[in-house]
Structures are given as structure tokens and as C-alpha cells.
Amino acid sequence: MKIAIPVAEYRGLESTVYGHFGSAAAFALVDSATMSVEAIDNRDEAHVHGACSPMKALAGARPDVAIVGGIGTGALLGLQAAGIKVYRCIGGTVADAVRQFKAAELTEIEEDGACAGHGDGAACHHSRTTK
């Protein structure tokens, strides 16, 4: 299974899970069976807030799953439309996130668990989990 995880700085399995999908500098693409990992530069990092194109961001990679710290509604719906399930993992390394996913310890994010925005009092649900 291929798993995409946003990271601020790519350091293989020791990369830290980044707090927001769309503004991550890169993604770690992990094969959960072999734990091999490759870097994907975020090809949509400079998008207008709220207008992330997740498949462009992933440079055409087609993971089965994305594990994120947080994600906006548009990016979440785009991934879901492509058949990619999205799970939340707050902090830790890419290796930690994959281990937690394999142990079924992560919660799938639904639309009401997506980030609602930043600044101006807008609520962001990075720490909220939903089923």
C-alpha cells in the first residue's frame, strides 16, 4: 500500500509529519509493505489558501492513503474523489505514522474534521478527530 505523508523537510522515515497538507514543502511516499520511501516535492505549495489541488501537489502520484496532521476541505474532498482515504496523525515521524496506521490507531478524516481556516478567528480542527 502506498501512503503519502506531508513533511516540512524530507528526511526519509525520520521526517516529521507536517501540520497541514496543502502547505507542506514535500511529501514522503511510503510503501507500507517494504517501508521504502521516496520524496515528492509539493507541486502546488504556492496555491491560494483554500484552493489546493491535491493531485497536482502529489505530482501525479496515486497513493492509496494520505496521513496528515491537518487538511482543508477542498484538498480532503479532492483526495476522497480520487479514492484516497485520509487519516489524521498529530506529530511524530513518518515511521510513527505508518506504524500507527498499520495498527489501526489512526482515525479517518471526514469533511467535518477538515481545517476550516486560519486567522481572523476561523476554527482549525487539527487536533479534532472524527469518524
Q: What SS3 class is residue 96?
A: helix
Residues 10-24 have a mean pLDDT of 91
Q: Cell 514522503 belongs to which residue?
A: 28
Distances (CA, A) of 66 to 6, 22, 30, 70: 8, 12, 10, 11
pLDDT digit string, tens, across residues 116-125: 554 444 334 4
Neighbours of 120 (CB within 10 A): 5
Separation between Cα atoms, residue 122 and residue 3, nearest integer Å: 30
State in words which class domain 2-113 has: alpha beta
pLDDT digit string, tens, across residues 46-95: 544 554 556 667 777 889 999 999 888 888 988 999 999 999 998 899 99
Residue with more model confidence, 124 or 114: 114
Question: pTM for the complete prediction?
Answer: 0.81
Q: Which helix (H) or strand (E) holds 40?
A: strand 37-41
